[in-house]
Amino acid sequence: MIRRVTIGLALVVVAVFVVWAIVPGMIAPGEPGTTDLLNTFASPSWAHPFGTDDLGRDVFDRVVHGTRSSILVGLGATLISLLLGGTVGLVCGLSRGWLGQALARVVDMLMSFPGLLMALTIISVVGSGSRNIALALGVASLPAFARLVRGEVLRVRDQPFIDAAVGAGVRRSAIVIRHVIPNVAGAILAFAGIALGIDIIAASSLSFLGFGPALPAADWGSLIAGGRDSVSDAWWITFFPGLMVALVVLAVTRLSSRGGAGPLEPAA
């Protein structure tokens, strides 16, 4: 019962954020950057549910308009690590020769570096901005995906139905596409959901550190960075954007960890 309620809530949260991301103008019709110097640091009210900031800008408007880039960066990063890490893991798991072994060792070594450090290192070369954050985070969590996919492939590879397919003379590529990938997809996609949450947090952290989109565009991380200096007068400027990060991460994680019932989950 509680499970159902939390999953329902998670769906509602995700739906709200999807609407915010696609049509922010419908929810917050004003220009998000409109300043109102007579109304600075207004605490949350009906007119300004999340209050206003140091220039009198409505925090709710800015949060709604920052939804798209905040979530897209995380999605992009997860997609990159899913595709690249998945490919590397597949090669690792399928190759019985030195290539698989060598790649697996490289992946293990990369795992010893904190993702944040790796992402910062990449940003130091490619520069800041949403696209580069997605690239940096995608590469940073590539090893985790590669390791998981490798493990799953190794698990599936020795199953009897693979032997049966080989025995029936199915081509190698067809075995990989029709038999291996569908059987590892469930676990990988569940992990991708968790990774999406981690990537959204990491992207907002990098944006908080000042590597996010250029001003005046603002995602949730840079909104928090902007409100940090006035946190003693106006807690709401930093509080609400961070709460949105937490809500979206909680919802995404809840949906991805509901387990066994997904259509992609193999009936075990």
Partner 1 sequence: MARRLTAATGLLRNPLARVLIGRVLAGVPVVFAAMTLSFMLVHLLPGDPVNAVLDPTSSPTPEQRENLRHQLGLDGSLPRQFADYAGRVAHGDLGHSIQSGRAVSTMIGDTIGPSLQLAGAALLLALIASCAISLIQVSTRHRPIRALATILPPASLAFPGYWVGIVLMSIFAFGLGWFPATGADGLSALVLPAVTLAIPATAFLTRVLSAGLQEALAQPYVLIARAKGATPRRVVLRHAFRNGLIPTITVAGLAISYLLAGAVITETVFARPGIGRTVVAAVSQHDIPVVQGFVMLFAVVFVVVNIVIDLLYVVADPRITTGRAALA
Least CB distance to partner 1 at residue 221 (A): 8
Selected from 3, 228, 259, 266, the binder of partner 1 by CB under 8 A is: 228
When asked if residue 35 is in the footprint of partner 1 (CB under 8 A), the reply is no
When asked if residue 201 is in the footprint of partner 1 (CB under 8 A), the reply is yes
Stretch that binds partner 1, among 44-52, 58-66, 185-193, 202-210 (CB under 8 A): 202-210
Instruction: Report the C-alpha gap between 158 and 102 in whole angstroms.
Output: 21
When asked if residue 50 is in the footprint of partner 1 (CB under 8 A), the reply is no
**Across the strands, what pairs with 197?**
none
Instruction: Report the C-alpha gap between 78 and 132 in whole angstroms.
Output: 13
When asked if residue 102 is in the footprint of partner 1 (CB under 8 A), the reply is no
Q: SS3 of 31, please?
A: coil
Instruction: Report the C-alpha gap between 52 and 61 in whole angstroms.
Output: 10
Stretch that binds partner 1, among 16-24, 35-43, 77-85, 201-209 (CB under 8 A): 201-209
DSSP character string of 183-250: HHHHHHHHHHHHHHHHHHHHHHHHIIIIISSPTT---HHHHHHHHGGGTTT-THHHHHHHHHHHHHHH
Distances, alpha carbon 36 to alpha carbons 45, 52, 120, 215, 222, in Å: 16, 9, 36, 18, 20
The residue (of 55 and 120) whose beta carbon lies closer to partner 1 is 120
When asked if residue 106 is in the footprint of partner 1 (CB under 8 A), the reply is yes
For 26, phi then psi, to 5°, come to -75, -35
Least CB distance to partner 1 at residue 209 (A): 6
**Across the strands, what pairs with 41?**
none
The residue (of 101 and 124) whose beta carbon lies closer to partner 1 is 124
- N-term to C-term CA, the chain: 24
HSE on the CB side for 50, CA within 13 Å? Answer: 22
When asked if residue 226 is in the footprint of partner 1 (CB under 8 A), the reply is no
When asked if residue 259 is in the footprint of partner 1 (CB under 8 A), the reply is no
Least CB distance to partner 1 at residue 132 (A): 10
Least CB distance to partner 1 at residue 160 (A): 31
Q: Which residues contact partner 1 (rule: CB under 8 A)?
A: 106, 109-110, 112-117, 120-128, 197, 201, 204-205, 208-211, 221, 224, 228, 231-232, 235, 238-239, 241-242, 245-246, 249-250, 253
